[in-house]
Amino acid sequence: MPWPHPAVPSPALAPPGWCPLSPTGAQTTQLLLEPPWRPPVLWDPVTLTCQGSGTAGDTTWYRDGQCWWQQGIDCLTVTLSGTYMCDRPGRGRSAPVTVSHDDLVLQVPARALLEGDTVTLRCRAWQNNTVTRVSFYHEWKELGGLRDGTELSLSPLQLSHSGSYHCKGWLELWALEKFWESAPVTVTVHVPVANATITPAPLAHQVRPGDNVTLHCSVQVGSAPVTFTWLHNGHEVARGPLLELRDIDVGHSGTYQCVATNRLGQDGHRVFQALSPELELEVTPWSPWVTGITGVGGTLLFLLLLVGVIVAWHWWHHVDARKHQQRAPPEPLAPSVEDPQATYMELQWLPWEPRDIYDNLHQKL
């Protein structure tokens, strides 16, 4: 059970005069630290900066899971221990950061730790009291016994260095002289990974002459500033995270790659170079209809086959009906009606009065 500390001041927020800048290309809400060590300790002047898109001053702050300050400023100094998060509109909450008030603390640099880096861990006592006979532990295994110094260097950093670390040290605190032990802190070693994408995403990376496309490059982990270089068929063509191609023609076809490079070697951080996978871009002179067929593939082919089956069935049904009609016997013709007529013999015996002849013909009709 830690020895009780003197009472700490009530919560206060003091906007500092300077805020650290965010890493290049930050896309999600991040909580940045100054000094850049984690966990931060209350006896340092800890500055928290909420970094993310949106309108300045729209930051919501959380402490120990509870909403602490709404519509607040983006950069502040805290005077109370606890776990802090911030929220920027449309980007969600940041990862939590715990401000420690423990008697002994093991601190790790608050940045992405990359394979090949030189990383220093430091064991510190409350209010920077003197600590001696320090020992460090990785996954609860002691690393080399007691040390006179309070720092542990990991160089070059390897993936096997990932894991939990803590330290023990001898110090006099609160009229007690004994070994104190820090809380564990996690070290995660990353391998830099670059990625390239196209916007808007064409079907099968096929575009037509005259189109406009934008290629985006990003690095999964790393520290600012990051330099991006674009290669077309292995030759450098541009720099920056975006490569905009306007009114493209067949000469833009080929493979594209971006190279992400970190230039922080002067402070002990290894310079890294991450090469993205190749991105194939084909500029075709096809019509939009043909391009659409290439993209939708099997779905459109199925619809065409279905229409063909329906047309063939109707054609077959029509031909079969005609054949059936040709095989049927002809219907008997209706007897024709003979035209009424008077013969010469019938007229011979008739009187020669015109009226009688007319009446006789009328009766036959």
As a whole-number percent, the residues of the chain with pLDDT over 70 amount to: 67
pLDDT at 32: 92
pLDDT digits (tens, 9 = 90+) for 85-138: 998 877 788 999 999 999 999 999 998 888 877 889 999 999 999 999 999 999
Tokens 């096997």 sit at which residue?
160
Rounded to whole angstroms, how far apart are CA atoms 274 and 115?
12
pLDDT at 14: 38
Task: Count Cβ atoms within 10 A of the Cβ of residue 78 and give its class: 0-12 exposed, 13-18 middle, 19 or more buried.
Answer: buried
Q: What's the rounded mean pLDDT across residues 301-320?
A: 73
Q: Which residue has the higher pLDDT, 162 or 211?
A: 162
Beta pairing, strands 213-219 & 194-199: antiparallel
pLDDT at 53: 65
pLDDT at 327: 60
Q: What's the rounded mean pLDDT across residues 256-273?
A: 69
pLDDT at 120: 92
User: Residue 269: which pLDDT band, with cuts at 50, 70 and 90?
Assistant: low
pLDDT at 184: 96
Q: Is the pLDDT of residue 326 over 70?
A: no
Q: Which residue has the higher pLDDT, 277 or 348?
A: 277
Residue 18 structure tokens: 């300077």
pLDDT digits (tens, 9 = 90+) for 30-68: 899 999 999 999 999 999 998 876 666 678 899 998 888
Residue 224 structure tokens: 């600012």
pLDDT at 194: 79
b/e map 337-364, b = 16+ CB within 10 Å = eeeeeeeeeeeeeeeeeeeeeeeeeeee
Nearest of 25, 23, 52 to residue 241 by alpha carbon:
25
Class of the 102-190 domain? mainly beta
Q: What's the rounded mean pLDDT across residues 134-148?
A: 86
Q: What's the rounded mean pLDDT across residues 149-167?
A: 91
Q: Is 81 helix (H, G, I), strand (E, B) or coil?
A: coil
CB atoms closer than 10 angstroms to residue 15: 12
pLDDT at 85: 92
Rounded to whole angstroms, how far apart are CA atoms 119 and 86?
27
Rounded to whole angstroms, how far apart are CA atoms 52 and 116?
29
Q: Which residue has the higher pLDDT, 57 or 18?
A: 57
Chain-wide mean pLDDT for the chain?
75
Provide, for the chain, the percentages of residues in helix, strand and coil under a 3-state DSSP scheme, each rounded to the nearest 5.
20, 40, 40
Q: Where are the domain boundaries for CATH 2.60.40.10 in the chain? A: 12-100, 102-190, 192-294
Q: CB-based contacts of 184: which residues, under 8 Å, 6+ apart?
A: 106, 164, 165, 166
b/e map 286-322, b = 16+ CB within 10 Å = eeeeebeeeeeeeeeeeeeeeeeeeeeeeeeeeeeee
The sign one gets for the Cα dihedral 269, 239, 54, 219 is: negative
* pTM score, whole prediction: 0.57
Nearest of 273, 159, 281, 256 to residue 219 by alpha carbon:
273
Q: Is 127 helix (H, G, I), strand (E, B) or coil?
A: helix
Q: Is 147 helix (H, G, I), strand (E, B) or coil?
A: strand
pLDDT at 20: 42
Asked if residue 144 lies in contact with residue 133, where contact means CB atoms within 8 angstroms, the answer is no
pLDDT at 25: 40
pLDDT digits (tens, 9 = 90+) for 194-219: 777 877 665 556 778 888 888 888 88
pLDDT at 311: 76
Residue 133 is classified by DSSP as E
Residue 334 is classified by DSSP as P
Q: Is the pLDDT of residue 12 over 70?
A: no
pLDDT digits (tens, 9 = 90+) for 230-250: 999 999 999 988 999 888 888
Helix (H) or strand (E) holding 195: strand 194-199
pLDDT at 35: 94
Q: Is 313 helix (H, G, I), strand (E, B) or coil?
A: helix
As a whole-number percent, the residues of the chain with pLDDT over 90 amount to: 25
pLDDT at 324: 62
Asked if residue 97 lies in contact with residue 40, where contact means CB atoms within 8 angstroms, the answer is yes
Residue 147 structure tokens: 């040390």
Q: Which residue has the higher pLDDT, 357 or 237?
A: 237
pLDDT at 339: 46
Class of the 192-294 domain? mainly beta
Topology annotation, domain 12-100 = Immunoglobulin-like (2.60.40)
Tokens 């221990």 sit at which residue?
81
Q: CB-based contacts of 98: which residues, under 8 Å, 6+ apart?
A: 39, 81, 82, 83, 84
Q: What's the rounded mean pLDDT across residues 341-359?
A: 45
pLDDT at 359: 53
Using DSSP, how many helices (H) and how many strands (E) does the chain show? 4, 29
